[in-house]
Amino acid sequence: MVTYGIIILIAYLLGSIPSGLIIGKLFHGVDIREHGSGNLGGTNSFRVLGKKAGLIVTIADILKGTIAVSLPLIFGSEEIHRLIPGIFAVIGHMYPIFAGFKGGKAVATSGGVLLGYAYPMFFIMLLVFFICLYLTKYVSLASMLAAIVSVIYALIVWDLPLIFVVLILAVFVIYRHRANINRIINKTEPKIKWL
Provide the terminal-to-terminal Cα distance of the chain, rounded to the nearest Å: 48
Closest alpha carbon to 170 in 190, 141, 150: 150
Confidence of residue 82 (pLDDT cuts 50, 70, 90): very high
For the chain, state the CA radius of gyration. Answer: 16
Q: Which long-range contacts (CB under 8 A, 24 or more apart) does 155-164 make?
A: 157/118, 157/121, 159/118, 161/81, 161/83, 162/83, 162/117, 162/118, 162/121
Q: Domain limits of the chain?
A: 2-185
Model pLDDT for residues 139-185, shown as the tens digit of each residue: 999 999 999 999 999 999 999 999 999 999 999 999 999 999 999 99
Model pLDDT for residues 34-76, shown as the tens digit of each residue: 998 888 888 899 989 989 999 999 999 999 999 999 999 999 8
- The overall pTM is greater than 0.85: yes
Mean pLDDT of 19-39: 91
Higher pLDDT, 41 or 109: 109
Confidence of residue 134 (pLDDT cuts 50, 70, 90): very high
For residues 83 and 65, give the distance between their C-alpha atoms in angstroms, rounded to a whole number: 9
